[in-house]
Chains A and B, each alone.
Chain A
Amino acid sequence: MNRLKNLPTLRIDAERVLSFTYRGKTCQGLEGDTVATALYANGVRVFGRSLKYHRPRGLYSLDGECSNTMMEVDGVPNVRAEATVLASGMTVKPQNIKGSPEFDLMGFMDGLSWAMPAGFYYRVFHKPARIWPAAIKQIRQAAGLGTLSPDFRMKGRFDEIYPAAEVCVIGGGPAGMAAALAAAEQGLRVILLESRPWLGGAFEYRTTADSSGTALFESARELARKVERTAGIRIFTHAPVVGVYTDGQVTAVQRGGADQSFDERYIEIRARSVVAATGCIERPLLFENNERPGIMQTECALRLARTWGILPGSEAVFSIGHDQGLEAAIDLCDLGLKVAVVADTREDGQDALLLDALAQRRIPFLKGWVAQKAHGSRQISSATLSSLNGHFNRELPCDLLVASAGLTPVTGPLTLAEAKLSYDSRTGFFLPNELPAWLYAAGRLLGLAHFEAIAASGRLAGLRAAQRCGAEAAAGIRDCESRLKELPGPVRGSKFVSAPRAGKKAFVCFDEDTTLKNVDQAMDMGFDVPELIKRFTSAGTGPGQGGIPGHNLPLYVNQSGSSPDSQPRPTLTRPPLVPTLMAAYAGAGHAMAKRTPLHELQKADGGRMETVGDWKRARRFSDDVRCRAEITNVRTNVGLLDASTLGKFRLFGPDALKALQRVYVSDMSRMHAGKAKYSAMCNDDGCLTDDGVIVQTGESEYYFTTSTGRAGVTSEWIRYHTRFDNWDFSLVNLTDAYGVINIAGPNARAVLSKVTPAAVDNEAFPYMGYREFDVGGVAVRALRLGFVGELSYELHVPSSWMAGVWGVLTEAGREFGIRNFGLEAQNALRLDKGHIIIGSESEQRTTLHDLGLGFLWHRHKPEARTVGDGALRHTEKQSGRLKLVGLKMEDASAQPPGDGSPIVDKRIRGYVCTARYSVALKEPVGMALVEEGLAAEGSRLAIYEDGCEGRLIYAKVAKKPFYDPEGERLRS
């Protein structure tokens, strides 16, 4: 297609040709094209098919306000072709078609619209109930735009940025630019967000002169240059706002390119003041077949020509309701478009100069007329115009119908900010009448149309925003208010919504194929509020984020008289305001996981690393998911476990003991030098929240451990539960300061004694003892514990020395065949002993007593007001509670039941917490939480495994610990 040349408004470079592929065919566009304009220049008119009826759809708005031009680009579905800059080598495909966009085999669905009335999703297919599973399968296959494989991996460079500013301006038109300049003059940092690739807004491409005789686009560009030169203003173009939240938080997603370090990046700003200068979009005109390819809005037609040099058609009919529509007809006529007629829904009020211009060009003009029907199957071939009273009509041939009901403000950011909007009958706009203190509105969205008035309102908003940030702007504000009074105010807008006898295919929502008839059906069924009608008909719930139905829906409903509100009310908007990739929200997407000091060594030793909470940990060290070799090695020899993730804390101060007494259920005053004390913390319900060991390391100083999962909240927990006591104690989180090596197994002592001069025999260092000595010359804290049920030492080593100490132990243990064991082996080993893991065998309903840990609770320290004390007293003998029991399978050769499997009879009576095959006992063992009635030793438990299809398996309640019940091995 030949492009218009030498227009001062063009944003393409005719010398730089870009090749891309569409439906397997190589096409060409120009640098500066969007995917949509490049396709249009290549003669594409049908871009895809609609969701439900598979109706052909084409270019309509050029800002991606509907899903008409959502296409697959480079394998990514649902890309807004209108908002995507063309790049060389792109592969573009249409969506939702079987065959071709022009000849879609699913096009017959259009003839079945009678079978899909409003709300049919909710009303059909559920009676009889048996047809629903089959129906839902078919609906899911037929529904949706674009396809995505579950294996799909998003390619591209995504980033995130949190720029700081005092004032954030949304909208880069004259009002937004003036606001940014005003705020920056006050010395404030300003961020300006503009969704299009350049500043200028709705004036960027208009050649009409303003009151000074300067073409609007020149005034807009001059202002843009001034903004770009101003140091305190950071401009983000191609950055549509996606969210506005409380207290001035604004989010946007910016499109990058080959010359930038990102393809898309998430922008998050917390500004003290925000100016919304988002301007207007056009309100769609509703008539029969109003969405045919070849029908487009005024700005779309004009921008195609002025910005991209593409004449939108050859013979056009205009059906508009605002002066901009007249302006566009005149301009496009001058550029070579044959304009057959201009129909204006307004009976009067047009700009006289524009009417003269139409007359000079001999363009027929019809006042009080509107498009009633578009003809043509895949593309418009003619349009029927009608007088507003419906008495007169005319059909005219055309390949382009420029249709618009007028302007409507972009209020999405305002409603997200919880501004209150009300309908103004003069402008026909929803205007803000109550804004949050930090939000200011300006420009066309207030109904202004005069360039200088728009800029002045922007300046005023910018000064007010600056004043809120502490700037001395009172005088400037007064001047601005005076100036604004002298300029033209809000203009009379169009309230027109739909043509008379609009027909059954007048679409109010292009995304969801919702027609006016569907809206009528919903109202006939009793829905009288736009919010409910929206959801019942799904109008505005599609990927266009409500851009097309926008304000038409509430206006139409209000006109019907069905609504209980006397004035129309806009429907709610929710973020994101424009369709946004999940990858963009994820930003740079850096995984932030914690690593122990032994991470690389564990990996080098074959560790299969997994994310467990905040940490990367080795699950196992071989392909055997049961870890039999690791387990056997610990039971018979010696193994090493990286337990560095345990929480570790230093507690000190005159009232340190009081703090311990408050949070631990045991009597913490009974601690002995050189001995570790095991205890637990509960919440106010007496339920176990944490356990660990505590060692007294000074007169008022303690070192204690917590579970990995609670390490991050322990400080807050203790502070919270002592917040009214004004005690003098301090807490330092040393979780990452020490790594922990657990050396366990019958040969553990033999290995350890090789690397330390300290005495580590049973007499010198008994079970539950605490010592400090050197290993490999490094000072360590050592505890003798027995979580896995064998002779075991827990060495707390300063993190920077961990690799060295680990190396020393490994070297010393080589003669014994020392090897690593991981989390899974540890899990199975401790299960043999009936030792619990918080969150595996405990849950929010289980108290200390339920878990068999009631022995930890010291009931005679009421002065301590221990957390959970009251609940423990109350529930100690309470019946009807879940109890933790051991279980063994009736068939010792059976597989262990899956974790979480329900225990049943006529109803669920409990569940299996954890079950594994015990290498030592050569049979499966496990622990379960069961109702009290099943807790007695020997009770039979029927277990329902996922997928068992009713074939239960059986276990018996067995005494714990299963292995070494007397604890001889761990005390050896």
Chain B
Amino acid sequence: MKGSSIVMERQSPVHLPGNPGKTKLRDHWPVVLEYADEGPGPWIVDLSHCHRWDIQGRDLAAEAAPGISLPDAPGAVTLPGKMLTGRTGQRQAFLWVFDDKAAAPAGECWTEVTEGTFCLALLGRNVFQITEKLTSLDLGDPKRNAPYLLLGPFSHVTGQMVVLSKDPRNAVVLVAGTRGFAHDMVHAVLAAGEEFGLRPAGESRFLEKFKSLPRPDVPEKTRSAARKTAASDKPKSSGRTRSKIRIGPK
């Protein structure tokens, strides 16, 4: 606003200690790319600014946007490009986007939930020693191949946990939950990680690890559904005016 002294910037629900070394303003989010002294790890990274979407519907494969492959089975995760999709149930899945240039998915079945959740990444060594102090879920289950999704308690509140790498020296675990719990969740994670030297790191640390992850095969069924969606008409519009709500300033 003209003449206003208020700095209009978005605020993450996550506040990590430490000295942000390199930051960037992206879509009004001040994003920490790197902290001054990240150390050898393990690390905690705030990814709350990354766009996150919920998709619900009877036929998710048909509803999915072009280029976005949704996994078929609950608990499964795919990593299309700089994105991550996970299946939470028969008619629900989610999309997390780590590419600031990606277009938002369109369609009634998509709801952006970035604002309502926090998202953290735990990277490096001793990650599972930290997480076993916070959840009774078996994140390191030897019978599962990463990536996979678990839903359940994390520091005694419900969360989504995505295990991207189980390498004990180079693990990658993402934790997302209700925004309101972010402050106390971060406090609990930092306390659990203190004995292992857990420190904050910037987005760059995560993206570097994310890029190096092997990509699981996308099931043929999902690929063909995605191709079908790309070839079909755009989602039908309603006769009535749909909400024009948009996020962000003009």
Identify the A interface with B (CB < 8 A).
159-164, 189, 261, 268, 270, 588, 590-597, 599, 614-615, 650, 652-653, 673, 696-701, 703, 728, 730-738, 755, 772, 774, 776-779, 781, 798-804, 807-808, 811
Contacts and interface: CB of A to CB of B under 8 A. Distances in A.
A800 B7 contact: no
15 contacts: A162-B132, A588-B188, A652-B108, A696-B240, A697-B245, A698-B240, A698-B242, A730-B92, A732-B111, A736-B116, A778-B249, A779-B246, A803-B11, A804-B6, A808-B1
A736 B178 contact: yes
Interface of B: 1, 4-13, 29, 54, 56-58, 91-92, 108-109, 111, 113-117, 132-133, 135-136, 138, 140-142, 155-157, 178-185, 187-188, 191-192, 194-195, 238-250
B133 A596 contact: no
A615 B180 contact: yes
A648 to B, nearest CB: 9
B136 A270 contact: yes
B242 A733 contact: no
Given A755-B1, A799-B13, A804-B9, A772 B138 contact: no
B180 A736 contact: yes
A733 B88 CA distance: 15
A779 B248 contact: yes
Nearest to B118: A736
A757 B178 CA distance: 33
A359 B113 CA distance: 83
A759 to B, nearest CB: 16
A537 B239 CA distance: 79
B57 to A, nearest CB: 6
Contact of B191 (A590, A597, A781, A800): A590
Contacts of B155: 590, 592
Q: Name the prevailing secondary structure of the A interface residues.
A: mixed
A779 B245 contact: yes
B242 A804 contact: no
Given A597-B13, A798-B115, A732 B239 contact: no
B13 A189 contact: no
Contacts of B191: 588, 590
Given A701-B242, A736-B179, A776 B6 contact: yes
B179 A807 contact: no
A189 B128 CA distance: 14
B199 to A, nearest CB: 16
B115 A804 contact: no
Contacts of A261: 194-195
A590 B108 contact: no
A549 B193 CA distance: 44
Contact of A737 (B58, B115, B187): B115
B181 A592 contact: yes
Given A162-B135, A728-B58, A592 B185 contact: yes
Contacts of B135: 162
A607 to B, nearest CB: 15
Given A811-B4, A811-B5, A800 B115 contact: yes
Contacts of A701: 108, 238, 242-243
Contacts of B156: 590, 592
Contacts of B117: 736
B213 to A, nearest CB: 23
Contacts of A592: 155-157, 181, 184-185, 188
Contact of B247 (A591, A652, A779): A779
Nearest to A591: B184
Contacts of A160: 133
The 3 closest A-B pairs by CB, nearest first: A594-B180, A737-B116, A699-B238
A91 B6 CA distance: 57
Contacts of A161: 132-133
Nearest to A260: B195
B184 A774 contact: no
B112 to A, nearest CB: 8
B243 A800 contact: no
Contacts of B91: 730
A591 B135 CA distance: 15
B238 A800 contact: no
A800 B11 CA distance: 5
Given A162-B135, A595-B180, A597-B11, 18 more contacts: A189-B142, A261-B195, A588-B188, A593-B181, A594-B180, A595-B184, A597-B179, A599-B183, A614-B180, A731-B56, A732-B54, A737-B113, A737-B115, A776-B6, A778-B248, A800-B11, A808-B6, A811-B4
A738 B184 CA distance: 19
Given A261-B195, A803-B11, A732 B56 contact: yes
Contacts of A808: 1, 4, 6, 8
A596 B181 CA distance: 9
Contacts of B242: 697-699, 701
B185 A777 contact: no
Nearest to A735: B116
A164 B133 contact: no
Contact of B116 (A697, A700, A733): A733
B133 A697 contact: no
Contacts of A776: 1, 4, 6, 8, 249
B6 A800 contact: no
Nearest to B134: A162
Contacts of A737: 113-116, 179
Given A800-B12, A804-B6, A772 B132 contact: no
B6 A807 contact: yes
Nearest to B183: A595
A673 B181 contact: no
A650 B142 CA distance: 38
Contact of B138 (A164, A588, A735, A800): A164
A799 B133 contact: no
Contacts of A781: 245
B91 to A, nearest CB: 7
Most chain-B CB neighbours within 10 Å: which of A161, A615, A730, A803? A730
Most chain-B CB neighbours within 10 Å: which of A597, A614, A698, A774? A698
B122 to A, nearest CB: 16
A804 B7 contact: yes
Contacts of A591: 184
Contacts of B9: 804
Most chain-B CB neighbours within 10 Å: which of A697, A700, A737, A774? A737
A266 to B, nearest CB: 10
Contacts of A803: 11
Contacts of B142: 189
Nearest to B239: A699
A599 B185 CA distance: 15
Contacts of B187: 590
Nearest to B7: A804
Given A588-B188, A650-B111, A737-B115, A800 B133 contact: no
B27 to A, nearest CB: 10
Most chain-A CB neighbours within 10 Å: which of B109, B136, B194? B136
A772 B243 contact: yes
A737 B12 CA distance: 12
Most chain-A CB neighbours within 10 Å: which of B56, B156, B179? B179
B179 A798 contact: no
B249 to A, nearest CB: 4
B184 A164 contact: no
A808 B7 CA distance: 9
Given A162-B135, A776-B1, A596 B243 contact: no
A372 B244 CA distance: 92
Given A590-B191, A592-B184, A703-B243, A777 B116 contact: no
B87 to A, nearest CB: 15
Nearest to A779: B246
A951 to B, nearest CB: 45
A588 B240 contact: no
Contacts of A614: 180
A798 B178 CA distance: 14
A268 B178 CA distance: 25
Contacts of B58: 728
